[in-house]
Chain A
Amino acid sequence: MSDLWQPLWLSLRIAAVATVLTAVLATPLAYAMARRRFPGRSLLEGFILLPLVLPPTVVGYILIVAFGKGGWFTRLLPEPWDYSIVFRLEGAVLAALVVALPMLYMPAKAAFGSVDRDLEDAARIEGANRLQLFFRVSVPLARRGLVSGLLLAFARALGEFGATMMVFGWQPDNVTLPISIYKAWEEPNLPAAAPAVVALSVISLGLVLAYNVTLARSRD
């Protein structure tokens, strides 16, 4: 596995798509959860945070049972469409998305929760509707928390291994960075994994440092 580029590029693409989807899903969700109380709120939050503690094998298992061949959701598709996420890019993105989501959700919810309500009320008085309030007032005010959450989410998506291994599998010349490392270890050919290990460590360290810097700045 001396080729570093293919796994690196694949992992970056998967993590990027997963992070964008995470942003789209988690930001409004965190906003709503920070503001409202409704029956079942705690339970919903529990499900969002579950991938944080569930073993990756359980996450992979659920994804396969839900979206694999004949899965709970895939079997609902119209007849000729025999779809499964297994071995597909969507599968890898979904696995990364599920584990990255709580990483953005938590800081986002905290950030939205600490936005000065007076500022939001002022905007409402000025005639801002819900959408304008969200995009032009709340999000900018919460941006430090959102950015730090996005960095964490991307880092988590990049490092996703267990569930991805189960869903995306082992496709020769089409492996993610973490999978390439594991497969080199299994051969066994540990030295071949070194470039991937270094790349992943350097990138992840950079992301965590950026996360720290973002957080530190927000204390001003």
Chain B
Amino acid sequence: MRRTVLIAGLLFAVAFASVASAATIRAGVAVSLKEAMEEVAKGYESKTGDRVEFAFGSSGQVMAQIKGGAPVDLFISAADKQVDELIAAGLADADTRRVVAGNTLVLIVPRDSKDAIDSFDALGKVAVKRLAIGEPKTVPAGQYAQQVLKKLRLTAALSGRVVYGANVRQALDYVIRGEVTAGVVYATDAKQAGADKVNVVAEAPKGSHDPIVYPAVVVKKSRQADAAKRFLDHLASDDARQVLKKHGFTEPRPTATQPAADKP
């Protein structure tokens, strides 16, 4: 009897040990990366056994949660601003910072839109009832959109007609539901929604906004810093890049603060 208990105990300990060695990382990620990241994580888990759990939201929301002490190991933002803030607050490890993807900004309209909107400039000429963008202070997509509107001198014409989404997907949803005339979102969001829901009208003109980058950084208080770094390295791998490309993301561009992820 005692021997049985001993063996059972040993087996249990071994089983527990092997489960314990597989890490679970919590990643706070900009919501535009949702489907792509989930797919990358699935492949990563079957390859390494490490699990990645996600919390998605606007980059500003996720950053605020991390600032508030949320247990996040890895942060992936859709703009430099939120990562800069986290590093400045001493909450993120600047040495681990690396850009994992890029994106393009597009103007979209509801699928059955009857308005003659064929370009960003048309927003200043056609009667636009409402334009949906992400809220510029906390949503990078909104920040980029605001830059475009400013550059194209459309701010005055659209004054009082802009509505904010709490994140870029909410702006997208407003367009899908037809509650707004048009919206500015990432090309990947439009692709995710599908041509049966929204029409992509135009890409933002070159130079009309800051380059769209997705910087990732490991959170300092993380208890899974090594596992987080491993996943971050994986994001630079061919497998991960293929998935990102499939979802419509572009190659990470160098930014002022960090060169693009090294090609393996």
Residue of B nearest to A69 (CB): B178
Are A87 and B138 in contact, CB atoms less than 8 angstroms apart?
no
Residues of chain B contacted by A87 (CB below 8 angstroms): 130, 163, 179-180
Complex: how many Å from CA A186 to CA B167? 12
> C-beta contact mask, A178-209 vs B, less than 8 Å → 1, else 0?
00000100111000000000000000000000
Beyond A187-B137, A187-B138, A188-B64, whether A172 also contacts B162 by CB under 8 A is yes
Question: Which applies to chain A's interface (DSSP): helix, strand, loop or mixed?
Answer: loop
Are B164 and A171 in contact, CB atoms less than 8 angstroms apart?
yes
Total contacting residues, chain A, CB less than 8 A: 16
Residue B248, interface by CB 8 Å: no
Residue of A nearest to B67 (CB): A188
Residue A162, interface by CB 8 Å: no
Residue B250, interface by CB 8 Å: no
Residues of chain B contacted by A68 (CB below 8 angstroms): 177, 179
Residues of chain A contacted by B130 (CB below 8 angstroms): 87
Residue B135, interface by CB 8 Å: yes
Residues of chain B contacted by A69 (CB below 8 angstroms): 177-179
Complex: how many Å from CA A170 to CA B60? 16
Complex: how many Å from CA A172 to CA B162? 7
Provide a sorted-by-A list of 17 A–B residue pairs whose CB atoms are within 8 angstroms.
A69-B178, A69-B179, A70-B177, A70-B178, A84-B179, A86-B177, A86-B179, A169-B174, A170-B163, A170-B166, A171-B163, A172-B162, A174-B160, A186-B61, A186-B64, A186-B166, A187-B60
Report A's interface with B, CB cutoff 8 A.
68-70, 84, 86-87, 169-174, 183, 186-188
